[in-house]
Amino acid sequence: MTVFEKELGELKEKILRMGAVVEAAIRDAVASLVERDSDLARKVIENDHKINALDVEIDEECIRLIAIRQPRARDLRFITTAMKITTDLERMGDLAEDIAERAIELNEEPILKPYIDIPRMTEIARGMVRDALDALVKGDTELAMDVIKRDDEVDMLNVQVFNELLFFMIQDPSTVSRATRITYVSKYIERIADHATNVAEMVIYNIEGKMIRHLTPSQKQ
Amino acid sequence: MSEMSIAISEKLKSEVKNLNFYYGAVQALKNISLPIERRKVTALIGPSGCGKTTFLRCFNRMHDLYPGNRYEGEIILYPDNINIISTEIDPIEIRMQISMVFQKPNPFPKSIYENVAYGLRVRGINNKQILNERVEKSLRGAALWEEVKDRLHDLAFELSGGQQQRLCIARALATDPRILLFDEPTSALDPTATSKIEELIIELKNEVTIIIVTHNMQQAARVSDSTAFMYLGEIIEFDRTEKIFTAPTKKLTEEYITGRFG
């Protein structure tokens, strides 16, 4: 194995490590809401700097490799993919932090209703993040395409949550502040799934050299 | 490649069709077909011994200088529709129209002026005024005029390596060639002289069709519009340079481009 191949291997490991940290942040942020655990929420907020640091570290490594190695073909695709993926992962980390902030606010007030759809959305979104990175490791286009498809489920759940909360607010204006915050949380998770979709699209670029971003679903096929 | 062939079918300067080439009994090129776009730079890359220089030399019949070499197939030159490698075609005339610049600068042991005028004199042009004009035009075309205009009658060997190479390009340009062949034109030059030659190649394609053989993959990426990857006498992949360097289709190309072999 050449030095460059070793460096690429280390870069891949760093991305996976960042993905694992982000995924844990999403899990903990939502758990802090569902289990009304504000200490856990504060931990998520405190830990965000780790994600930011990995984002910068990976970017700097990519820039260094471009300058030193002049990567071509699949190496070039991998490094540019890494740079774009980390931006999405970093944004997911920020959204997890936002969820934790809303959780702290919501945990101060009586529970509006049991959280059912939010954990479901979260499970799907987390699975999307995990599988997108898995697809990167395995070079699995089908898995990446599957991630992209799952985004629709999250979008639908988000609409459903919103409609339900709207009904609460119409019926009882005293629920507005809580319902609005939960709407935000739902939107944050929906955004996380969007970023996971971006990651999956870049994974497909990495494997096949095809840019499928901003195409319609039928064009993506 | 099929999409590409359709898109460029009307813009060809030359077209190689089922070319085989033999050094005596040894087959060095195997069934090569390749479109050469007009006023574009086509790069030939591949590991040592893959046949890229052999292929380049077919274009101006360099192989005719040695007995026992044999061509099969066609290299059509447009718009005349002549087959360059046909025995009915005079190789001397072909070399006037398809000039080559070599790895090491090889000026004649003559003055700067006479190096450029040489091809014209061979063609029987001796009118002083015409020669002056053509020499200046060629030297300007090779981005050398400003550096040598006050010393045109100095010996060519007094120039630096990079200047000598540009002189060879000027010499090649003097006969108004249709295709310029470059065989590793910067491998003997330092980085500054190299980048001057590369800039020049990009400029020259406004006037002339260019085919370049290079070991330097980044150079192929920088100067060419399309790239052919060769291996063991065959063209493995041919496409837009950008495509070859970002997402080649063939595994072998990918391995070579990324430095995994060769």
In chain B, pLDDT over 70 holds for what percent of residues? 96
CA distances from residue B195 to A21, A207, B202 in whole angstroms, order as listed: 45, 33, 11
Cα–Cα distance, B258 to A145 (Å, whole number): 27
Q: Does A139 touch chain B (CB under 8 A)?
A: no
Which helix (H) or strand (E) segment is B134 a member of?
Answer: helix B128-141
Residue B6 pLDDT more than 50?
Answer: no
User: For A24-76, what is each residue's pLDDT tens digit?
Assistant: 999 999 999 999 999 999 999 999 999 999 999 999 999 999 999 999 999 99
Q: Which amino acid would we find at residue B52?
A: K
Residue B7 pLDDT more than 70?
Answer: no
The pLDDT value recorded for residue B9 is 52
Task: Note whether A193 and A131 are within 8 A (CB).
Answer: no
CATH code assigned at A26: 1.20.58.220
Span B156-180, average pLDDT: 95
Q: Would you tell me which CATH number, out of the four given (1.10.260.40, 3.40.50.300, 2.40.10.500, 1.10.150.120), belongs to the domain B2-257?
A: 3.40.50.300
Q: Does A212 touch chain B (CB under 8 A)?
A: no
Which helix (H) or strand (E) segment is B15 a member of?
Answer: strand B12-23
| Chain A residues near residue B224 by CB distance under 8 angstroms | none
Pick the closest to residue B8 from B226, B253, B249, B229 (CA basis). B226
User: For A87-105, what is each residue's pLDDT tens digit?
Assistant: 999 999 999 999 999 999 9
Q: Does B173 touch chain A (CB under 8 A)?
A: no
User: For A26-39, what is each residue's pLDDT tens digit?
Assistant: 999 999 999 999 99
Q: Min CA distance, A88 vs chain B (Å)?
A: 22
Choose from B222, B224, B246, B254 for mutation: most chain A CBs within 10 A: B246
Cα–Cα distance, B51 to B255 (Å, whole number): 18
pLDDT band with cut points at 50, 70 and 90 for residue B243: very high
Q: Min CA distance, A77 vs chain B (Å)?
A: 7
Cβ count near A179 (within 10 Å)? 23
Residue B1 pLDDT more than 60?
Answer: no
Tokens matching residue B241:
């340079």
pLDDT band with cut points at 50, 70 and 90 for residue B66: confident
Sign of the torsion formed by the C-alpha atoms of B118, B120, B124 and B126: negative
User: For B68-80, what is each residue's pLDDT tens digit?
Assistant: 999 999 999 999 8
User: For A125-180, what is each residue's pLDDT tens digit?
Assistant: 999 999 999 999 999 999 999 999 999 999 999 999 999 999 999 999 999 999 99
Cα pseudo-dihedral B9, B11, B16, B18, rounded to 10 = 0
pLDDT band with cut points at 50, 70 and 90 for residue B262: low
The range of the structural domain enclosing residue A204 comes to 3-220
In chain B, domain spans: 2-257
Cα–Cα distance, B253 to B262 (Å, whole number): 10
Q: Judge if pTM exceeds 0.95.
A: no
Q: Which of B4-8, B36-40, B228-232 has the lowest mean pLDDT?
A: B4-8
CA distances from residue A179 to A28, A111, A162, A170 in whole angstroms, order as listed: 21, 10, 9, 11
How many independent structural domains does chain A possess? 1
Say what the ipTM of the complex is: 0.76
